[in-house]
Copies of this chain bind each other. A is one copy, B any other.
Amino acid sequence: MTAQEAYTELKKRIREISILSTTAGVLYWDQEAYMPRKADDHRAEQLAQISRLTHEWFIDTKTGDLLATVEGSDLVKNPESEASVNCREWRRLYDREVKLPTNFVEEFTRVTSKAINVWAEARQKSDFAIFQPDLEKIIDLCRKKADLIGYETEVYDALLDAFEPGAKTAEVESAFKGLRTELVALIAKIKDAPKKPDIGILRRPYDIAKQKVFAQIIAVAIGYDFEAGRIDETVHPCCNDLGPFDTRVLTRYYANDISEGITGTTHEVGHALYEMSRQTKEHWGTPMGDTPSLAIHESQSRTWENIVGRSREFWQYFYPQLQRIFYQDLHNVALDDFYGAMNWVAPSYIRVEADEATYNLHVMLRFEIERSIITGELKVTDIPGEWNSRFKDYLGIEVDKDSNGCLQDVHWAHGAFGYFPTYALGNLYAAQFWQQAQKDLPGIADDFAQGKFDRLLAWLRDNIHTQGFKYYSNDLCQRITGQPLSHKPLLDYLYDKYAGIYGITR
């Protein structure tokens, strides 16, 4: 077998795995969107079966043999060639996955799939005790996973690596440290700011049917393809990849708060725009058509949600339309008052509802807590207490109930320890990319004021979306911006915006 034949065969085999993974994507989407409650147990069986199959197919010794054949050939001479990039990642994943026994993988999926509904009940009743037994099982499985995979310095590294390839816990910790000091100072300035917007504008009854119409107007305007996706409602907003030309968004609307439906939908559509740029036949289902990390993915959703979707230019264009949809509620409210309210900064309980400044503190808290759960320093029973005490330290408010605290996020039920840090890293990448985009595309923010988003989308496509997994996150950042990741661009961006709204200076 020639190296070329081996590579073709390898691609074919991986393609089968990718197809089956998108079938799991349909099952997950359905579970979040439409599945009847009593189907929980069977859905867990269906998902466990698929995870077992994809794992078995991938760790087949044939995969390793084919990889070895290609790796020893000229096909991988140029490290940026398609074959090099794909084989580099297949090798990394193969060496990782081959350490996990199939029954472990199946068990992990079964346990987490069932836990999601237990978590949902615990959250609804705000009763941590309901979720605790499942969470303990999941944490044991995560620790076991980390042990099986192995790590150099810290157990959490093995988990973090699944979401943020190449990242190390210690690096994340040090990046967060500098960011935290700066954010705490910023938030203090805003607390004592000479002027403040009126958040009450947003927190009134707004008809949900009309909110949906407006959210879809934004989605279409910024580039979401409704013939290759759809937007439905759920408890926990997300973007699901069900295969090429099938990227669906799940969002939610609040009857008494108009901002959540807008920012939540724009966020998930931001993820979807990334997926929608990468569904070419050529690279679909391979690393060349994949993403370097969740932080890079998150940088795209945060770009659209915050940098675009909370900008004054964006609302210059959309606010008159919103006023036509909600005439009675908004015809008396000036653009700058609405824009200010959309950029309200204040400590609050829920991460996904947090403003751009306090958001990252929510993430750091989770990072620290899950790191100490995984090392075993923190016991599961002590999570609520630890959460609430840290929350008081960082954000200055007392958590009133666990549904507003440690039960608010679904991630732990999914077994996704190591996922949270990527949210804050995503914000840093987004701001740094945006700084560069402004240099490369003069007057880009003015485009938004005219309802034009195609120049920015094309820039993101060229620089990020269609790069696939050619480069690791840090390298991609260096290549695009000429600098390693830093928290400076985010702080510059935030001070620039809040100077106008709050009258503060750095």
Contacts and interface: CB of A to CB of B under 8 A. Distances in A.
Interface of A: 16, 19-20, 22-23, 26-27, 30, 34-39, 41-43, 45-46, 49-50, 53, 225-230, 232, 242-246, 248
Given A19-B42, A38-B228, 11 more contacts: A16-B49, A23-B27, A26-B46, A34-B230, A36-B246, A36-B248, A41-B245, A42-B243, A42-B244, A42-B246, A46-B243
Contacts of A245: 36, 38-39, 41-42
Given A36-B229, A228-B36, A49 B243 contact: no
A36 B226 contact: yes
Closest 5 pairs between A and B when the two form their complex, measured CB to CB: A39-B246, A38-B245, A42-B243, A38-B228, A38-B227
Contacts of A16: 49
A120 to B, nearest CB: 14
7 contacts: A23-B50, A35-B246, A36-B227, A36-B246, A38-B245, A42-B245, A42-B246
Contact of A42 (B22, B30, B37, B225): B22
A281 B53 CA distance: 23
A63 to B, nearest CB: 18
Contacts of A36: 226-230, 245-246, 248
Contacts of A41: 245
Nearest to A22: B46
Label chain A's interface by main secondary structure.
Answer: helix
Contacts of A22: 42, 46
Contacts of A19: 42, 45-46, 49
Q: By CB atoms of chain B within 10 A, which of A19, A225, A246 has the most?
A: A246
Nearest to A48: B19
A226 B37 CA distance: 9
A243 B232 CA distance: 23
Nearest to A225: B38
Contacts of A248: 36
Contacts of A34: 34, 230, 232
A30 B26 contact: yes
A107 to B, nearest CB: 16
A20 B49 CA distance: 8
A25 to B, nearest CB: 10
A229 B248 CA distance: 22
B30 A228 contact: no
A228 B39 contact: yes
